[in-house]
Amino acid sequence: MNIRIEKDTMGQVEVPADKYWGAQTQRSKENFKIGDGIMPVEIIRAFAILKKAAAQTNVELGVLPGEKSELIAQVCDEILEGKLDDHFPLVVWQTGSGTQSNMNVNEVIANRAHVITGGKLGEGEKFIHPNDDVNKSQSSNDTFPTAMHIAAYKMISDVTVPGIKKLSQALHKKEKEFINIVKTGRTHLMDATPLTLGQEFSAYVAQLNQCLKTLKCPLDHLSELALGGTAVGTGINTPKGYDVLVAKKIADLTGFPFVTASNKFEALSAHDAIVGVSCCLKKMAVGLMKISNDIRMLASGPRTGIGEIILPANEPGSSIMPGKVNPTQNEALCMVCAQVIGNDIAISVGGMHGQYQLNVYKPVMIYNLLQSARLLGDACVSFTDNCVVGIEPHLANIQMNLNNSLMLVTALNTHIGYENSAKIAKKAHSEGTTLKEAALASGLVTEEQFDEWVDPSKMIGSL
């Protein structure tokens, strides 16, 4: 491998000749050979946004020459276009402040700018310095949390929320299609009074819509940016007005309502916004797990299960049992939910470790949050397209189960009392007869009364 020599304050380092990163990136690459979890590209893109905004702000405030600002912005645009993805090799498992990833971006921008201006990697003095120019008015301690917020806000807005909305809309469509299909209810996994299949699906829609509502508060918190706090939150080495202006520029570049954090000490030392968003994603996962399991149990069978709905047959379900079809989309969604719930634990532990003026679990927190946000959004789209839209009711099984339900006896409570109704239900169950046969045999009701009072369509409330 061809190499070149780069240097930092600790001395010289050998770096691959064709890579734009520098000495500090190489040291991190060599010192943290832990796993294969590369820093998410969303964080790198977020860094490009904030570095561009910082350069533009610095030139407006008179602390950076315009030519340097334009060069930095040009390289940032290349990063945003994905042209330099191969130059960001660092793993998540590095310093807890994310310093090395911040320097990775600084070094790539400086070296790429050097090449753009006619220089050769490893030769000559750079026009753009990674610390003095690219990192001007910044610290890793405020850039990394800013990148966290930008990346998380964008992922949730672009992937998670649209995925949840798509699933909610598909379930709402099924709710309307199924609203008049009366079926037996189930509580404690046992027979209960009737409802409609549409009413059952309405609960799923409500769950998802509530999840979307709960995202608002943590998203508002996530819109606050740490940039301008620099090392400990005091804003040392920043020009006056920098924090407000740079947040505005980031908002303009992204189209999201970012503002400067009201308290930079909190923004650096605590990541409650990340914890709060993760908590909402966990809530979504819990709800989706319930919805997914309900649907696959309702479809169980096809001959020996509940079998009240039919799921699309997407692929063979067994390598040994011919004709078997499984609820694979449900299983995939449930596994995603399990991962999201696990990620939330890691994020919660990370949030607990903000000691004094800095939280040093930043990389693992954002790594897990971005994974959760993407997985939920993608899984909801897959579940919608490959399962929900194709769900059909199995009317014969629904009617059979409804007719066999002993809990229709509940309709008799107000006419013959709870205890007499219970006697009828127990008689039917023990003797293996229908509820109607047991009721007539008891002498407590006539056939005419039974047919009038025990009508499932009258037991579902107002639609």
| Integer Rg of the chain from CA | 30
Catalytic residue among 140, 269, 318, 442: 318
Q: Record the tokens describing residue 124, joined without a space.
A: 């000559």
Q: Is 415 a catalytic residue?
A: no
Which residue in 139, 134, 95, 130 sits closest to 234, CA to CA? 139
392-396-400 Cα angle (round to 5): 130
Amino acid residing at 49: I
Q: Is 318 a catalytic residue?
A: yes
- CA gap 99, 143 in Å, rounded: 9
- Rounded alpha-carbon distances, angstroms, from residue 387 to 256, 288, 316, 333, 399: 33, 14, 15, 11, 23
Catalytic residue among 114, 137, 149, 188: 188
- Rounded alpha-carbon distances, angstroms, from residue 295 to 85, 211, 291, 395: 41, 19, 6, 16
Q: Record the tokens describing residue 161, joined without a space.
A: 């929320």
- Rounded alpha-carbon distances, angstroms, from residue 460 to 65, 123, 152, 192, 392: 72, 80, 43, 12, 21
- Do residues 63 and 137 lie in contact, with contact meaning Cβ atoms separated by under 8 Å? yes
Strand partners, 38: 91
- CA gap 235, 395 in Å, rounded: 67
If you search the block for the tokens 């969303």, which residue do you land on? Answer: 42
Tell me which residues are annotated as active site: 188, 318
